[in-house]
Amino acid sequence: MKKAVVFGVILLTLGSLAFADTGFSMWGRTQYVVAMQKGSGDVQSGWKGFVSTWPPAPRENLNWWFTSDMLEMHFTAYLDGYFGQTKTQTTVSVGSVSVGPLDTAQDVGGFKIQGVDGVLKLVPDMFTLHIGEYNADGWDTFRKTSPNPIRDVNNNNVGRFTGFGIIGDLAPKGTGFEAAVMWRTADPTSGSAITTFADQANNTDFGASYTVPDMVKVTAGSTVDLSDLTNFSRNLFARVELLSVKNLVLWADVRYQGWAAATSESDIFTELASSYTSGDLTVALAAQFNSVSQAYALRENPQISADAYTSWLAQVEVYYNTGAVTPGLWAKVAGNSVTDYGISYYFEPYVKINDFNLRVSFLYNGSSNSAVDSTWEIPVLVDFSF
């Protein structure tokens, strides 16, 4: 695998000489908690994953691309976790204060090459062929077009194409129409990349969208659940996005997971998201609802329930950009139909120093379930990019 990676990098380097444009970019997000306390426990500090933004763990993304009139190549990799190092449970304690990684239940980290793909512009401004790996953050043409108004939070991957494969993308310029099909292949680094024609057909993703300029965009399609390839479980998704009001983001999507011949699993997910900006003031809202069958609960969420359940959440964020700093407030409330689960709520006032992409906040997490300890923390989040 390492030899293949090195060889691929060499090819990309040599190939860059023949391309009209070559670029490199890097993006990262990390967070340090100055102080944190759960219930009546010790006050702690250390590196910690994110509660109110994406991704769930610190990440440093690396992107490298080459483009010409007829061809593009993209290379994506990232350091996932704490500066690429696996998290440990090591702490240094002084009295009732301990310093160290705060998320010790999950080991993540390391350098991951998660996306290498080429783009053939077979018919410019009409038909493009994408070939490669889409495991970093997926091929998102049909996932969403407007950013999620609540802090980059993912919309549960509705419409995302992932895995290894070939994507044919038809988008005639000026028509407002786009359609794509992903013919998914086996992982070529797994030792055997040969699968049956029938399996590949069952693993096909497809989607289409139509845009009426300054009015509305409608998207629909179907993608495969890669965690259940035995039953070829797939989902159906649809999205409507309003484009007619200036400074307004408003879209709704729905996904039905469980269209499979050999299982009774089902998971219905829907989200409504909106934001409106007036001058320097922005108000954003998002709400989600999830309905899960018993069979799906047993496979995906046994720690929550072995029965069918529903869950929901609502978020709101208000912030005011003064130029040098942006003060804001984020709040979230979430619940589940499972007995004793309770309603959890989050409250986070913050100040962002815009020139340094630095955000300092106070985050409080409580629950209506008296058995669940409340938590407060003072996180410092840093973004960087070039």
Mean pLDDT is lowest, of 47-51, 275-279, 334-338, for: 47-51
Reported as a single tens digit per residue, the pLDDT across 3-20 is 444 444 444 444 544 556
Instruction: Say yes or no to pLDDT of 213 above 50.
Output: yes
Distance between start and end Cα atoms, the chain: 29
- pLDDT at 351 exceeding the cut of 90: yes
pTM: 0.77
The CB-side HSE value for 200 (13 A sphere, CA atoms) comes to 16
Rounded to whole angstroms, the Cα distance separating 57 from 342 reads 25
212: pLDDT strictly greater than 80: yes
Tell me the torsion sign for CA atoms 339, 227, 158, 48. positive
82 vs 78: CA distance, rounded Å? 12
Token pair 């269209």: residue: 259
Task: Decide if 221 contacts 159 (C-beta within 8 A).
Answer: yes
Least confident span in 99-113, 117-131, 187-201, 298-312: 99-113
Residue 112 pLDDT greater than 60, yes or no: no
Residue range 347-356: mean pLDDT, rounded: 92
Picking from 118, 210, 217, the residue whose alpha carbon sits closest to that of residue 165 is 118
| pLDDT averaged over every residue in the chain | 76
- pLDDT of 318 over the 90 cut: yes
Residue 332 near residue 345, CB atoms below 8 Å:
yes
Torsion of CA 379, 380, 381, 383, to 10 degrees: 180
CA distances from 165 to 133, 138, 186, 217, 238 (A): 7, 11, 8, 27, 23
**How many angstroms separate the CA atoms of 217 and 236, rounded?**
17
